[in-house]
Structure 1
Amino acid sequence: MSRTHQPIWRSAALSAAAVCLTLTALTGCSSGSSDSGHKSTGAASTESGSDAGKSTAGKSTTTGAKTDAKTDAKQPAPPAEVSIPSIGVTSSLLQLGLNADRTVEVPPADKGMTAGWYTGSATPGEPGAAVLIGHNDTRYGRAVFHDLRKIHKGADIAVRNTLGKTAHFTVTSTESVSKKAFPTDKVYGKTTDRALRLITCDGSFDAQGHPVNNLIVFATLR
């Protein structure tokens, strides 16, 4: 069956750190030509926008540079790899931000076996909900989260950061939801828990070959 690009959810509001982001197109399944638009530059602009402002305010002075260095030193190290032993998944992590149209970036179709971390979410292991996104399949075939539906409550998910420190999460539940009713608040809503969410496509296909559901895995830090 022919499959084309399909958004994971429709328009929804996400509040994080007093910044409201509109998430309108996120995919974790088959991809079409539109995947070529999901570039790493979007992630960079999303993650470094505030830093760019600080540099301008500091006017490249020595004092400003020192202030930025101190701020950066306090930031938690970003995730570099996710491992799910129970379903045989080990993947490096891309950094995903927002596209120019405020839609969420996804891993490119030709990197279907690589998952990504949405930089607008929490850093895994820190307070808040961290979100990892992966394709179920792409036009190139089977993808990184193809077997995510096989995961069970109590399974271990390990996320290693760029400093080599690993945070272990325990799966608490899974949920297959309609893309027309994506539970944005439940997935992205503010929480003091150190939580992890994994998202991909799921369910049967509509007449155009698009998966109609999303699979969400909920996990908490051990």
Structure 2
Amino acid sequence: MPTAVPPERRARAVERRAPVPSRRIILVVVPIGLWLLIRGLIGESAPQPPSDQSAGGSGPNAAQRASIHRAVHALPRSAPVRLRIPAIHVDAPMTKLALDKKGALQLPPPGKSNLAGWYARGPAPGEAGASIVAGHVDTPSGRAVFYSLGALRKKSTIEITRQDRRTAVFSIDAVEVYAKRSFPSKKVYGGGSAPQLRIVTCGGGYRKATGYQGNLVVYASLVRVK
């Protein structure tokens, strides 16, 4: 793994390369589930998506994303404050996520199980590019905000209310699970110019001895603003 970049240089690099997170983030954000391997919800596995919810091919519905981008313009930057996923009864406040001293993406505090976070140096939800949202699937106290993420299906909606009082509505293109060693960084973090959303949490099933086996990623596209 490469040497961590000094904070001041890393911040400038991220800003220049936005909306795609830095390579350092890509390398260290993959093991989101590692912290939860031991401290997660023992003996219970979160729902996992069936294979027909995968995008297939090299990316999630690229033709549809291009069409959506022509129809729905990207929004100016505004921080998200609340995330709603009606299909799985998620209604959660949002907080900023930053990098730790080693350049790893920090997660919301484990004591706040219903809190979702977004990578604040990347695009905000509704902006051009891929906005990255992350959160716990479970904590030592039980199920957390993204426990049921694997139960989502294509075309379900995700609503993110922003500080500017606009709500960005996303439609799910795919729900996929990746093993820890085969996490497709370019696919997950590469959003192009269309307003995209990625929600990342633990996935791949749970084993008592080793914990979660990978990461679950929801891909979604901006379809309207209200």
Same fold (TM over 0.5): yes
What one-letter code is carried by the residue in structure 1 that aligns with 2:17? A
**Whole-Å separation in 1 of the counterparts to 2:23 and 2:107:** 16
Scaled by the length of structure 2, the TM-score of the pair is 0.69
Distance 1:155 1:139 in 2: 29
Q: Give the Cα separation in 2 of the matches to 1:199 and 1:191.
A: 18
AA matched with 2:222: L
CA distance in 1 between partners of 2:180 and 2:107 (Å): 16
TM-score by length of 1: 0.70
SS where residue 108 of structure 2 aligns?
A: coil
Aligned residue type for 2:197: L
1:4 is matched with none
Tell me, in whole angstroms, the C-alpha distance in 1 between the residues paired with 2:37 and 2:113.
9
Q: Is the 8 A contact 2:82 2:94 kept in 1?
A: yes
Query: Which letter does structure 2 place at the counterpart of 1:88?
Result: H
How much has 1:32 moved relative to structure 2? 6.5
Q: SS where residue 76 of structure 1 aligns?
A: coil
Where in structure 2 are the equivalents of 1:91-130 lying within 5 Å?
A: 91-130=92-131
> In 2, distance between residues paired with 1:199 and 1:113?
15
Number of paired residues? 171
> How far apart in 2 are the matches of 1:116 and 1:164?
18
1:167 and 1:145 map into 2 onto residues whose CA distance is 19
Kindly indicate whether residue 162 of structure 2 is the aligned counterpart of residue 156 of structure 1. no
Q: CA deviation at 1:165?
A: 0.8
> Which residue number corresponds to residue 131 of structure 1?
132
Give the percent of matched residue pairs that are identical in Structure 1 and Structure 2.
31
5+ residue gaps, structure 2, are 3-12, 40-75
Bigger shift: 123-132 or 184-193? 184-193
Larger radius of gyration: 1
Equivalent position of 1:187 in the other structure: 188
The alpha-carbon distance between structure 1 residues 186 and 16, as it changes in their structure 2 partners (threshold 3 A), is: farther
Q: 1:30 — aligned with what?
A: 36
Deviation track 1:50-70 (CA, whole Å, cap 9, x = no partner) reads xxxxxxxxxxxxxxxxxxxxx
User: Is residue 32–residue 139 contact of structure 1 (8 Å, CA) maintained in 2?
Assistant: no
Mapping of residues 1-222 of structure 1, within 5 Å: 17-18=16-17, 20-23=22-25, 24-26=27-29, 27-28=32-33, 30=36, 76-206=77-207, 208-222=209-223
- Does structure 1 conserve the Cα–Cα contact (< 8 Å) formed by 2:37 and 2:212? no
Contact 1:115 1:133 (C-alpha < 8 Å) held by counterparts: yes
Give the CA deviation at 1:203. 1.8
In 2, Cα distance between equivalents of 1:170 and 1:182: 23
Structure 2 CA distance for aligned equivalents of residues 100 and 142 of structure 1: 28
Post-superposition shift, 1:18? 2.9
Q: Which runs of 4+ in 1 moved over 6 A?
A: none
Given that 1:31 and 1:139 are in contact with CA atoms closer than 8 Å, whether structure 2 keeps it comes out as no
Residue type of the alignment partner of 1:18? R
Is the Cα–Cα contact under 8 Å of residues 93 and 116 in structure 2 kept in the other structure? Answer: yes
